[in-house]
Chains A and B, each alone.
Chain A
Amino acid sequence: MTTLPPTELTRLDALAAIHHAFPSEPIVIALGTMVREMLLVAGRQPNHLHVLDAMGLVPAITLGVAMSPHGAAHARVVGIEGDGGLLMGLSSIATIGAARPENLVLIVLDNGAYAATGGQRTASPHLDLAGMARACGFQTHDIRTAAGLAVAMLDAKVRPGPWLLRISIGPKNQAAPYFLPDPVELAIDFRRYLQVPIERRADDESPAT
């Protein structure tokens, strides 16, 4: 077995690339460091749903959004999950694989640890997460470099999914404040965002002539 070099990427790098690649696509973001560091990178975005708890549920929630009438209108619906969360809700990749939503992109930020609770190890270093997803019918990329990240984002945007992008990230967490909103507001904002027809949103954003 070959030993891979350490990943070039941090969680902030990965989140910045995701925000850049999917600026208006619905994104479901898992709890803890992912939610908090995405807020550092992008601030509150109307296309972001912050899942403040419910560990392991992001793949399932993303599948629901991707299959919903308003979600299906989007070319891509993105879920951001950690390796611990993916392993907790692992059976969802079977259900996603069976449903085969072409617009679903599940991005796994894999640091091999439970970051929010002190960095305790997960089983991920012993597993082939992308291989498991491929066995369930996903398209996948295993990413460890900035160049690989750019290629994978583009590929997931242009070729039909479902996609699982496993991004290896380093162990470092960025200091970030707690995010303690009323979750009802988060749900209402995201639901409202999904309701707005995509054509109208594009018109709103086009420069005045």
Chain B
Amino acid sequence: MPPLTTALGIDSREVVARRADEVTRAIDHIRPTHVLWIPSSTLKSVIDSIEVRAREGTWISMPITREEEGIGIASGLTLGGARPLLVIQDNGIGNCLTALTTFPQPYHLPIVMLVSQRGGLNEYNSMIHTLGERVEDILDAADIRTFLLDERVPVERWATSIVGAWEHAEMTHRPVAVLLNLLY
């Protein structure tokens, strides 16, 4: 029998690591000019890799203080010919909804956000679920296109889906969120 993967029971680190590797592979392929991030424990290896690549000169990596600040910086970068990527958590979506809907969305700027989805099955922090589990609905209500990656998408398809979302933002001239549920 394969091991069970639950928040409170059996270790799920291997599953998380495999999916995180695919996220890293996608970012390496996209090769954004700047990566702006607020870390998430499930994306720790992704952020580590972003920092390593920055030291190698592949892109500029910047920690941001708040999600809406990231939306502002990414928008300015986009206007000036850069292609930035944002990496944030779902519980920070509440912080940036106003920024998203009042700047890059009406000004038609293709901002791509990789959003780690923590709310839902296998998440241990009880505080995260209320917003996190509804983030897809919230973004949908705000007319922000989202693509959800969880266990229903084979891990082999994760990297191509993220690259596809990047291209989708470019083609639609709009912000796009990719929800990455590494826990379920």
Contacts and interface: CB of A to CB of B under 8 A. Distances in A.
Contact of A63 (B63, B76, B99, B109): B76
A63 B84 CA distance: 13
A160 interface: no
B99 A67 contact: no
A95 B36 CA distance: 11
Given A60-B72, A92-B69, A194 B103 contact: no
A40 interface: no
The residue in A64, A72, A94, A99 that gathers the most chain B C-beta atoms within 10 A of its C-beta is A64
A173 interface: no
Interface string A45-66: 0000101111011111111111
Contacts of A67: 34, 60, 73, 76-77, 80, 82
Nearest to B64: A95
B3 interface: no
B107 interface: yes
A184 B76 contact: no
Contacts, number: 119
B107 A65 contact: no
A68 B77 contact: yes
B72 A68 contact: no
Given A54-B72, A60-B72, A64-B72, A184 B106 contact: yes
Contact of B82 (A56, A69, A91, A184): A69
A95 B69 contact: yes
Given A71-B80, A92-B69, A184-B107, 7 more contacts: A49-B79, A54-B102, A60-B72, A65-B79, A89-B72, A183-B108, A191-B79
Interface of B: 33-34, 60, 62-66, 68-82, 84, 98-99, 102-103, 106-109
6 contacts: A64-B82, A67-B60, A67-B82, A69-B33, A69-B80, A184-B107
